[in-house]
Amino acid sequence: MDLCAVSEIRELLARHGFRFSHAKGQNFLKARWVVEDMARLAGVDSSCGVLEIGPGIGPLTEQLCLRAGKVVAVELDRSLEPILAETVGQYENLELLWGDAMKMDLRTLVSERFADLSPMACANLPYYITTPVIAALLEADCFASVTVMIQKEVAQRICARANTPDYGAFTAFCRYYADPELLFEVPAACFIPEPKVTSAVLTLRRRGCPPAPVEEPNLYFRTVRSAFGQRRKTLLNALSAGISELPKRALEACIQRAGFSPTVRGETLSPEDFCALSNEIAREKRQEHA
């Protein structure tokens, strides 16, 4: 069965009485080159254990199974169970898990299923869960890489550089854990039904350490969120609103010691800059409580 042939997809879905769920963000790929390039550019081979979230009818699952040592695919929609049994049930290196990936302990899943393999994640993500899924995969801190198809605008934000319109808090969050690269765009015509936006395939390669030394990781993320919480405000005023336990004069000193003017805006700071700034705030907090 050709899982990317429109006529075969329609016949398969009709035979099983499947109806697309807008609420679940279901858009199935009908372009073979997309799933082949995703699996290839993700670097999947027999040494890899791959986690896929949302396999749909299985076109990407199939490509991963042909390359990986093992594939674990997590699907929320139980109505796809007989379809996936038919389309990819023959692959012995595939394990299907039914449930919400966001409620699973990903580190435990990886340690139990991929003990002797290099863990990776590869998925065509529904647009509505893009940010929380990517955050969960990165925070698990156990995947060598995360390769996902997402909305093009989100991929551009993740890859953005400081002091550009697309740069934001989620950029700095992702760059703490990984080095992102936008691999290729995917036109809406590659899906059934067609979404209203262009997609893109993005890979995030695990760094293993932050972009610069960080004394308190939680404070790094808090500093980033505060800096972007009110983008039009100066960095000093934004931090004053977000880190209220330190007086404004102390935060101003932290910004200056990190090498910046208090009047700059958060969007001008790179992830490395935020590392330095959060370290100064951590030291100031220790001194305030000494």
Confidence (pLDDT) at 25: 72
Confidence (pLDDT) at 232: 83
Confidence (pLDDT) at 23: 67
Confidence (pLDDT) at 290: 61
End-to-end Cα separation, the chain, in angstroms: 69
- For residue 91, the number of C-alpha atoms closer than 13 Å in the C-beta half-sphere is 24
Residue 243 neighbours by CB under 8 Å, 6+ apart? 222, 223, 226, 251, 281
Domain ranges of the chain: 6-206, 217-288
- Flag residues of the chain having pLDDT under 50: none
Confidence (pLDDT) at 288: 75
- DSSP for residue 267: G
CA distance 78 to 83: 10
Confidence (pLDDT) at 26: 79
- The pair of structure tokens assigned to 62 is 């199939």
Confidence (pLDDT) at 126: 87
Confidence (pLDDT) at 36: 97
CATH number for the domain running over 217-288: 1.10.8.100
Confidence (pLDDT) at 127: 87
Confidence (pLDDT) at 208: 85
pLDDT 10s digits, 176-214: 999 999 999 999 999 998 888 999 999 999 998 999 999
CATH among 3.90.79.10, 3.40.50.2300, 3.40.50.150, 3.60.20.30 for 6-206: 3.40.50.150
